[in-house]
Structure formats: C-alpha cells, structure tokens
Amino acid sequence: MYKILLFILLLFSFSLNAKNILSKISPGEKLPADQFIKLYKIINPTVVNIAGKQQGSLYTYPSILPFNLPYNNIPHRSEPPSSLGTGFIISSKGLIITNAHVIANANIITVKVAKDNKEYIAKIIGQDKSSDIALIKINTKYQLPFASLGSSQALQVGQWVAAFGNPYGYSHTMTKGIISAKGREIDELNRFPFLQTDASINKGNSGGPLVNMQGEVIGVNSAIDPRAQGIGFAIPIDNVKSILKELKEYGFVKRGFLGIYMLDLTPSLSRTVGAHKKNGALIVEVLRNSPAEKGGLRTYDIVTKFNNKPILSSRDLSKAIKNSASDAQILLTIYRKNKVLQLKIKLRPHSQNLHKRPLSKKVSSKKAKVYFYKAPYKLGFHLVNANKKSAKYLQLPYLAKLNKPVVVEISKHSSAHLSGLAYLDIILDVNLKKIKTAKQAFRALKKGTNYIRILRNKQVYLLQMRGR
C-alpha cells in the first residue's frame, strides 16, 4: 500500500512542478543572456550531495609499493572507505535518483540538501547495477523542491545542455556544453547507450542531472569510464523512467532470462561448426532447466535473429534479452547443421540459483595414485579422469561424480598455455565432440586448429589451440 501511495504522490508531484519549466527555445533562436542563470536557480535547489560510508571495514592497501614487498598486503585498520556523488530530487516527498555505483557497498548513505544545508540519512528504495541507477529516499519536515523529467528521445546533437553535480567535492557546480552524440556504447559499462556531451562530468558528478534549456532532466550524469577525458557521458532519462516503477515496487528490475553462454561468431568458428554464416551469436552452453533448454536451443546453434531483428554479435543478443520483459515470449531464428530453424521460447525472471555447481572444498586424506594423460600434438597439457581417486588426490570431493576429464598440468609457453587453458578446467567437449574421459578427449584432438569447450568457475569458455 505504501509503494502504491508513493507512486501516486510521485505522479502528483510531477504535475505540481510544471511551473518551473522555462519557455522553449526554437532552433536557430538566440539564447537569452541570462538563460543559464535562470537554469541554475531552478535546478540547483533540487541537486543533493551524496556520501556513502562503510562502517567498521577492515581492508587491504593495494600492492603499489616497489618489488611487491611482503608487507604490501598486510591488513590495516583505517578510516572507513567512502564514496562521493550527486543525486537529484524527483518528488516533494524526498525521492532521489542517483547512480547505483555511488551507493554501492555503503552501510550509511547521507544526503545533503541545498534548502537547509542539512544532512539526512537516506534509505534505498531500489537499485539496478546493470543500468547503474538507484532510487533512494529521505524524510524531511517540509516539502522539497524537485526536478522535472523531460524526454531524451527528442534530443538533437548540438543542443545546449547543462550538468550539475559535486565534482571532487565542490558542491553545487554547474557546467555547460552541447549534446555531442547519442547512442554511445562503451564496452559493457552500461545497459543503455549513453548520451555524450562536452559538458564537464568528473568524479563526484555521478548521479547528477543533465538538463536541457527548459530545465528538464534529460540524462543522469555518469563518470565511471577512466577513458572519458574531456568528454562526459549520461544515461538517457527515457531509459531511467522505464525502470522507475519496478524500482519503487520491487526494489529491483525484473529481467528476462534465457540461460545460455555465447560467443561472437568468427570465420574460424563458423568453419569449425560447419556453418556458412559471417555474423551471429554462437551458443557454447545451454544451462540445465533453463528456458533455452526447454525451448529447444542447443550447444553450437547460431542465433541470427531475435524477434526477426538481425543479431550480428553476442552483445546484440545479450542486449535484446536484457531489454525484454521477464516473462516475454521471444522468437529466435537459428542456424543448425545447414538448416534455418525458428524457436519460440518463453523467458522467465533471472534466478541466481539456477545451474549451481558444488564449490571445491579441501579434505584431509592421503594422496592416491592417479594416472595423468598427456595431450598429443605437443599441445602441452595433462588430464585426469574425474573419479574417487582423482577427487582425493586433488582434494576436491565434487570431482568424484563429475564424469569429465580435468586439467592438472600445463606446460609454460605451450599451445595450451597460450590458449588460456588453466589448472582445474573441466573439459566439456573437443572439436564439437562431447567427451567423458581423457582418452576420448585426446582422440578428438588433431593437428592444426582445435576447439576445446571448458567449464571454469561456473562459466563456459571456448578455447582455440593449435596442435603440431
């Protein structure tokens, strides 16, 4: 009931704040000399400084001293780590938007309000690390000024904007610039493509508002990419608005889960799996009891379309899944053994408990005699079969029931070493052939290029190594 009332109050607050919007400036119209002054007077009272603190933390200094001396990593008791950032009020009742990384791991979140210059303890309403957005709330004895949320879809490159924040602790700072680009994708930094601006966004600006000339918030400042020198990035406000309701109702964002591991399809991988495709997402593992398994998806399928939209890479497929409703019915177009198939699959909310594997745990026992199998073609690694003897030898009980060979030795600078193969990797298949023993694995190897699919720390990888 409280969350429903909170949502109604938020909608009511938006309507009350419409009077604080400045008149629209038409394209080509001269910018009034006092426009930024008016903008500051409207937005600054809604901007808050946020500090996140960890209490009673015992932590280690990083190894930055020369020669990696032993005392580098001795634990030290020191001041609790803290983070500084910005937020902006979006309702008179004290709802505040900021970045999720600003409040990450904080035991206490304090918010300093411009109106009375006092600090308040905030509570977390919801957060989403994937989109780097958090919703927090403070309680005051009076109604707070708040910002109006605009639309980022209508933004044009070259449009004037202003960024507000707390850079390096200098509170209530405003910088100006233009929209330099839209739809910037920077590796895996954010779920949503960024707005790019030349308005200065530095450490401490994170979570602050990026506003248009009417005083509407069109983005949330983000200063998390160390490569962003002289340019700033912001999360589009339309994307933020799309998750606000779920953050208020559930405290998190429900996302669709398919249950796969995947790689970009390369020409070499395409030849290995016998395909004639240049682009797509190659499925390297289908998790047990997942929507993917129930929907008929298999290892080494190539996904080329998602709901009839082309999939050019694994990133495309990952984004499509993340942006789908948690219970969405999706249509995948796949390529399997020279056939094009379409699969209808119903997603479900992501569960962290799916496909859990037992963790390794040391046990006290005498080492047993275990036979090490040496890989052919000078690949440079050894395997043992997973059984009771090898489980005792390696002091890893879960190997007794694994029924797969395990990597136990790797020669330095060998093909296996250069491929990224690691100690205790579990071999799933070799050159598309599923295997259960070391002998089966080595029979599947060949001179030239080999592909070995392995399991490591609950993650599946496809490694390439060359035999000679």
324 carries an active-site annotation: no
Contact indicator for 390, 384 with CB cutoff of 8 Å: yes
132 carries an active-site annotation: yes
Quote the tokens at residue 206: 């994170």
**Catalytic hit among 13, 83, 101, 382:** 101
**Catalytic hit among 83, 91, 132, 324:** 132
206 carries an active-site annotation: yes
Q: Which residues contact 323 (CB under 8 A, 6 or more apart)?
A: 191
CA-CA distance, 223 to 232, in Å (whole number)?
A: 7
Q: What 3-state DSSP class applies to 451?
A: strand
Q: Where are the beta strands (DSSP E) in 337-413?
A: 339-346, 348-349, 373-374, 381-385, 405-410
CA-CA distance, 302 to 323, in Å (whole number)?
A: 20
Quote the tokens at residue 375: 């890989």
Give the number of C-alpha atoms closer than 13 A to the C-alpha of residue 206, restricted to the C-beta side.
Answer: 23
Q: Where are the beta strands (DSSP E) in 213-357?
A: 216-222, 232-236, 256-257, 260-264, 281-286, 302-306, 309-310, 329-336, 339-346, 348-349
**Helix 237-250 × helix 2-16 angle, to 10°:** 150
CA distances from 358 to 15, 279, 290, 323, 386 (A): 53, 35, 18, 31, 14
CA-CA distance, 339 to 389, in Å (whole number)?
A: 44
344-382 per-residue burial string, b: 16 or more CB within 10 A, e: under 16: ebebbebeeeeeeeeeeeeeeeeeeeeeebebebebbbb
Which residue reads 């796949």 in tokens? 334
**Catalytic hit among 206, 270, 314, 390:** 206
Q: What 3-state DSSP class applies to 51?
A: strand
Burial of 152 (0-12, 13-18, 19+ CB in 10 A): buried
Distance of CA 172 to the CA centre of its chain: 29
CA-CA distance, 14 to 181, in Å (whole number)?
A: 28
Which residue reads 């399991």 in tokens? 455
Q: Which residues are catalytic?
A: 101, 132, 206
